[in-house]
Amino acid sequence: MDGTYRPGPFGRSLAWVTALYLVLPILIVIPVALTDQRYLSLPQDGISFRHFETVLTSPEWLGSIWQSFTIAVAATVLSVSAGTLCAIGCWRISRRATELVRVLMLLPLIIPSIVYAIGLYRYFGPLGLLDRFAGVVIAHGVTGIPYVVITVSTALASFDPRLEQAARGMGASLSQTLRWVILPRIAPGIFSGAIFAFIHSWDELVMVLFIASRDVFTLPRRIWDGINENLDPAMAAVAVLLILFTLALLMADRALRRRSEG
């Protein structure tokens, strides 16, 4: 819009208040993490990095961070491979025939994770997947598939199907067409999907509360216990580290999209 019509004073101020309401409470954890006190508070006589030091030298926190990271990487691999292939298949086969698959793909976004979590709690018991790395990877990987399907489908929407037909017409096999024609074109969409699937697993708590207990103790689980048991500034330091990590991932995604758009 070229600026010929602007919101009035009421709309403008409500928008500003909302933006501050969205952003400020998140930023408040930064000064709290830098406090020189032993309890949750703003810095009194200067800032201190000791709460970051506490976190980054604690074997419990580092162990959970590493565990969350490896689970998220494995879950992302699962979501991206299954999701990308599914999106390509749905794109090539007609809309009508794949309607069921498309609806199925929306379910993990619609059904609350508490319902899935209690389902897994019962289902994983006999399979021996409770409190196992593999169990959490499966849970996170499967629920991450829709994010990949959505981003890859968006990327495919701008892909000319005649390129695929030309490749096939010139004798390329299905796997050659996938590898040399389709995948390179939709790589940015796949990467976006990977970032979303990664964040989905990295932040996930509800399933983990039910299907993991002692051996698998992810970062969100440790934060959850911290909030419910001992509120100390180390928690704020963890929050700041998480915010920085999320921002870095989002910036990577933005940069990549900008580059692919030219």
Partner 1 sequence: MSSVGRPGIGWWLLILPAFALLLVFYIAPIVQVLTISVTEPSLGFGNYQRILTSSAVQRVIMTTLRICLITTVLALLLGYAIAYAITLASPRARGWWVLAVLVPLWISVLVRAFAWVTLLRRQGLINNTLIEAGVITDPLPLVWNEFGIVVGMVHYMVPFAVLPMLSSMREIDPRLLAAARGLGASRGEVFRHVFLPLSLPGVIAAAVLVFIFTLGFYITPAILGGGKTLMVAEWISLQILDLIRWGLGTMMATVLVLAILVTLAVFSRVVDLRRIFGAGA
**Contacts of partner 1 in 38-57 (CB under 8 A):** 40-42
- Indicate which single residue of 107, 183, 248, 255 sits in contact with partner 1 (rule: CB under 8 A): 107
Q: Which of residues 201-220 bind partner 1 (CB under 8 A)?
A: 203, 205-206, 209-210, 220
Q: Is 98 in the site for partner 1 (CB under 8 A)?
A: yes
Q: Is 184 in the site for partner 1 (CB under 8 A)?
A: no
- Closest distance to partner 1 from the beta carbon of 90 (Å): 6
Q: Is 151 in the site for partner 1 (CB under 8 A)?
A: yes
Q: Which of residues 223-242 bind partner 1 (CB under 8 A)?
A: 223-224, 227-228, 231, 235-236, 239, 242
- Closest distance to partner 1 from the beta carbon of 249 (Å): 8
| DSSP per-residue string spanning the chain | --SSS---HHHHHHHHHHHHHHHHHHHTHHHHHT-SSSSS---SSS---HHHHHHHH-HHHHHHHHHHHHHHHHHHHHHHHHHHHHHHHHHHS-TTTTHHHHHHHHHHHHS-HHHHHHHHHHHHHHHT-TT-HHHHHHHHHHHHHHHHHHHHHHHHHTS-HHHHHHHHHTT--HHHIIIIIIHHHHHHHHHHHHHHHHHHHHH--HHHHHH-SSS---HHHHHHHHHHS---HHHHHHHHHHHHHHHHHHHHHHHHHHHHT-
- Indicate which single residue of 47, 62, 111, 252 sits in contact with partner 1 (rule: CB under 8 A): 111
- Indicate which single residue of 73, 77, 82, 134 sits in contact with partner 1 (rule: CB under 8 A): 82
- Indicate which single residue of 55, 145, 186, 194 sits in contact with partner 1 (rule: CB under 8 A): 145
- Indicate which single residue of 108, 131, 132, 232 sits in contact with partner 1 (rule: CB under 8 A): 108
